[in-house]
Structure 1
Amino acid sequence: MKEQIRTNNVERFTGFGALYDQNRPQAPEEVTRILTTYLGKKPKTVLDVGCGTGLSTFLWQQKAENIIGIEPSNDMREVALQNWKAQQKPKNIQFIEGFSHDLGVANDSVDIITCSQSFHWMEPQSTLREFARVLRTGGIFAAYDCDWPPAFNWEIEERYKQLIKLSDNRVAQLSSSEQQAHKWDKEKHLAEIQNSGLFRFSKEIVFHHWDPCDATRYTNIALSQGALQTAIKLGADDLLEAVEKFREQVEDTFAGQTLDILFSYRLRLAIK
């Protein structure tokens, strides 16, 4: 059953790596600043687990000596590799295939592990045991997630949520439970860390980041949500009409302007 869940979770992200990469927010600099402050020094080795297209991996390029992005999805990892080549193949960054419960990294060899909008796709306790194994004493694990939708306009945000709810319902209707991806509750991340007994300190930190956005990007942020993409792949053609209506509403609201929207993050930090 665990193997089937892992397979379903990986397949959920097949086919829209480029859309994801072009529209999702890059991890903000606050992440490196917070974690380096708690570590008390420049990290030698950082693992970015469930790194996707590398949006959260390249952030460390000037901040750590060695960075490894670990991603099980071939589609997502291929986009990360294309980005790596476009940046002249930085020697301190590499991308490899792997799962959170089996990192293939030596014991006590890592300073920081991050999961950017990915920990909820991982079985928490087997993942935390593996993270504790590879972290050095004093090493840090941080899972951080963005609240959806980004803050901008209450009517558009409400329609965004309705679109994703409709997508979730269509996925449930068009696939069996055995075929569906499984998400662990983000609200329980901190409790999972504390209940593991593997870390001597943990807390949640909330921070925010403004980012410029136009109507196309805001619409595509919604389109990059896994539930919507999965529903479309399953044949929910009626969803396309709802997407087009949402696109029109967003375009009317932005009125041709590029505006700042607010991304809010919740970071759960743990120290070994």
Structure 2
Amino acid sequence: MLPQGNSKNNIERFSGFADVYDQYRPEAPEFVVNILTGYLERKPNLVMDVGCGTGLSTLIWKDHAEQVIGVEPNDDMRSKAEDKLRMAANADHITFVSGYSNQLNTSDDSVDIITCSQSFHWMEPISTLNEAYRVLQRGGIFAVYDCDWPPVVNWRLEQEYLQLIDHADALVAQCTDKEIQAVKRNKNEHLQVIQESEKFRYTREIVFHHSEACDAERFVGLALSQGGIQTVFKLGIEGLDLAIESFRSSVTEHFKGNSMDIVFSYRLRLGIK
């Protein structure tokens, strides 16, 4: 039974495109590990990566924590994470489990670090923070981090990227009842929500950047991995094909068959219990 405060629409939004998501989305930068371990001031015994998706933000902890648990309610996304885990060496201390951000299957005061990568905006924030406070040890860290979309590459491509996403979101809004649409909360309010919970002794936002190699296929894939576009595909909504092909043409022309570095800008908001 779905615990109160969780949205079936939000969970199912990510069904059916785990492969696309995992292929094109960036892995979490290891700088996240450096920041959080530095604040914890020791190697964590237990890290919980909540809303872990395909494990892109979980497996970075493999060599940096005694135990790592990825929590993901979507079966498709978690199955992809489990497939990757089976291929990983020396990863017996990592597990992926079905669960919810406001109902974690662990005891009080047992967790050193909780992370939510690209996921907190899909969660009910108050009950999630209450649960984080319950399971975190004194001095434990709750950390939410997201990258800005699109990554930094070229202003014209970025503009087309945003227009494509807006087009997809508008089609979904026009063609589906509000009752079955996912609810996406404002990422810019994450720090305020953490502060207003009054659960943490110290809160702050940290901004950093991370560059990765990218070619035309990947840049198009990043756009197509966005939930709004995937929802258009899943529901068979018409009206996006021409915009996608125009975007693909622009991207192909810009990259000219080459790979180049693009920059992901990250915003990490944290609270220390």
8 Å CA contact 2:214, 2:261 repeated in 1: yes
Corresponding residue number in structure 2 for 1:195: 196
Q: What is the match of residue 39 of structure 2?
A: 38
1:174/1:234 contact within 8 Å kept: no
In structure 2, the residue matched to 1:50 is 51
Q: Secondary structure at the match of 2:223?
A: helix
- Could you give the per-residue CA deviations for residues 123-177 of structure 1, whole angstroms, max 9, x where no partner exists? 0000000000000000001000000000000000000000000011001011111
Secondary structure (helix, strand or coil) at the match of 2:240 reads helix
Paired letter, 1:216: E
- 1:37 shift after superposition: 0.5
SS of the residue 1:20 aligns to: helix
Report the equivalent of 2:178. Answer: 177
Structure 1 position 237, deviation (Å): 2.3
The residue aligned with 2:29 is 28
Q: Provide the rounded CA distance (Å) in 1 between the counterparts of 2:232 and 2:119.
A: 20
Residues of 2 paired with 1:119 and 1:270: CA distance?
A: 14
Within 5 A, what are the aligned runs for 1:128-207?
128-207=129-208
Matched, 1:91 2:89: no
Tell me the amino acid that sits aligned with residue 248 of structure 2: R
How far residue 104 of structure 1 moved from its aligned partner, in angstroms, is 1.2
Cα distance 1:4–1:41, how it changes in 2: closer, same or farther (>3 A)? Answer: closer
| CA-CA distance at 1:6 after TM superposition | 1.3
Please give the alpha-carbon distance, in whole angstroms, between the structure 2 residues aligned to 1:51 and 1:108. 21
Describe the SS at the equivalent of 2:112.
strand
* Partner amino acid, structure 1, of 2:18: G
Q: Which amino acid letter does the alignment assign opposite residue 204 of structure 2?
A: K
Query: Is residue 15 from structure 1 mapped to residue 16 from structure 2 by the alignment?
Result: yes
Structure 1 pair 26–268 and aligned structure 2 pair: CA distance change class (3 A): same
| CA distance in 1: counterparts of 2:93 and 2:242, whole angstroms | 45
Q: How does 1:242-261 map to 2 (within 5 A)?
A: 242-261=243-262
The aligned residue for residue 121 of structure 1 is 122
Q: Show the counterpart of 1:228.
A: 229
Q: Give the Cα separation in 2 of the matches to 1:162 and 1:136.
A: 44
How many residue pairs are counted as aligned between the two chains?
Answer: 272
Q: How far is 1:4 from its partner?
A: 8.4
- The unaligned stretches of length 5 or more in structure 1 are none
Unpaired segments of 5 or more residues in structure 2?
none
Contact 1:190 1:204 in 2 (8 A): yes
Structure 2: distance between partners of 1:5 and 1:241: 35
**Contact 2:6/2:123, CA 8 A, preserved across alignment:** no
Letter of the 2:148 partner, please give it.
D
Letter in 2 for 1:76: M
Deviation of the 1:203 alpha carbon: 0.2
1:2/1:43 CA distance change after superposition, 3 Å: closer
Percent identity, aligned pairs only, is: 54
SS across alignment from 1:105: coil
The one-letter code of the counterpart of 1:198 is: K
**Does the CA-based 8 Å contact 1:26-1:56 persist in structure 2?**
yes
* Whole-Å separation in 2 of the counterparts to 1:213 and 1:162: 21
User: Residue type matched to 1:66 in 2?
Assistant: Q
Aligned to 1:265: 266
Q: Distance in 1 between matches of 2:99 and 2:5?
A: 16
TM-score w.r.t. structure 2 length? Answer: 0.97
Q: Distance in 1 between matches of 2:108 and 2:245?
A: 50
| 1:164–1:228 Cα contact (<8 Å) kept | yes
Shift of 1:2: 8.3
Deviation of 1:31 after TM superposition, in Å, equals 0.1
Tell me by how many angstroms 1:86 deviates.
1.1
